[in-house]
Amino acid sequence: MSFYILWGEDQNLAEYHPKTIEIHGNIKNRIKSGPTSFVAQSTAFEHETAEDIENVLRQRKFGFTYSRIANPNMAQFEEKINLLEEGIGAIALSSGMAAVSVGLLSILKQGDEFISGYSLFSGSYALFTDTFSRFGIRPVFVNSTNEKEIENAINNKTKLIFIETIGNPRLDVPNLKKISAIAKKGGIPVILDNTLATPSLFKAKNFGADIIIHSASKYINGSGNAIGGVIVDSGTFDFNKDKYDDFAPYKKYGSLAYLAKTRRQIHTNLGTCLSPHNAFLLSLGLETLDLRMKQHSQNALALAEFLSTHKKVKKTSYPGLKNSEFYETAKEQFGNNFGGLLTFELESKEKAFEFINNRTFLRNLPNLGDAKTLIVHPASTIYVDYDDETKEKLGVNDRMIRVSVGIEYKDDIIREFDEILNKI
Ligand X SMILES: *Cc1c(COP(=O)(O)O)cnc(C)c1O
Q: Which stretches of the chain bind ligand X, using CB under 6 A? A: 95-97, 100, 121, 123-124, 164, 168, 193, 195-196, 215, 217-218, 227, 229
Which residue, judged by CB position, is nearest to ligand X in the bound state?
Answer: 96
Q: Is 310 in contact with 330 (CB distance < 8 Å)? A: no
Query: Pairing mode, if any, of strands 158-164 and 190-193?
Result: parallel
Nearer to ligand X, 154 or 230 (CB): 230
- Least Cα distance to 195 among 274, 291, 124 occurs for 124
Shortest distance, CB of residue 193 to ligand X, whole angstroms? Answer: 5
CB of 217 to ligand X, least distance (A): 4
Q: To the nearest whole angstrom, how small is the minimum distance from the Cβ of residue 119 to ligand X?
A: 11
CB of 97 to ligand X, least distance (A): 4
Q: Is 322 exposed, middle or buried (0-12, 13-18, 19+ CB in 10 A)?
A: exposed
C-beta closer to ligand X: residue 116 or 217 = 217
- H or E stretch covering 160: strand 158-164
DSSP 147: H
What is the smallest separation between the CB atom of 226 and ligand X, expressed in angstroms? 9
CB of 92 to ligand X, least distance (A): 12
List Cβ neighbours of 110 (8 Å cut-off, separation of 6 or more).
135, 136, 137
Coil vs helix vs strand at 108 = coil
Which residue lies nearer to ligand X by CB, 98 or 321? 98
User: Would you say 121 or 318 has its CB closer to ligand X?
Assistant: 121
Nearest to 144 by CA among 171, 124, 122: 171
Q: Could you tell me if 312 and 277 are in contact, meaning their C-beta atoms sit under 8 angstroms apart?
A: no
CB of 74 to ligand X, least distance (A): 15
Q: Which is nearer to ligand X, 217 or 298 (CB)?
A: 217
First to last CA, the chain: 53
If the CB atoms of residues 26 and 329 are measured against ligand X, the closer one turns out to be 329
**Distance in Å, CB of 168 to ligand X, minimum:** 6
Rounded to whole angstroms, how far apart are CA atoms 91 and 70? 9
Q: Considering only CA atoms, which of 399, 382, 375, 196 is closest in space to residue 315?
A: 399
- Which of residues 158 and 221 has its CB atom nearest to ligand X in the complex? 221
The residue (of 195 and 298) whose beta carbon lies closer to ligand X is: 195
Cis peptide before 169 (omega within 30 of 0): yes
CB of 36 to ligand X, least distance (A): 27
93 contacts 228 by C-beta, under 8 angstroms: yes
- Report the alpha-carbon distance of residue 280 to residue 283 in Å, rounded: 5
Closer residue to ligand X, CB minimum distance, 26 or 95: 95
Residue 72 near residue 40 (C-beta atoms within 8 A): yes
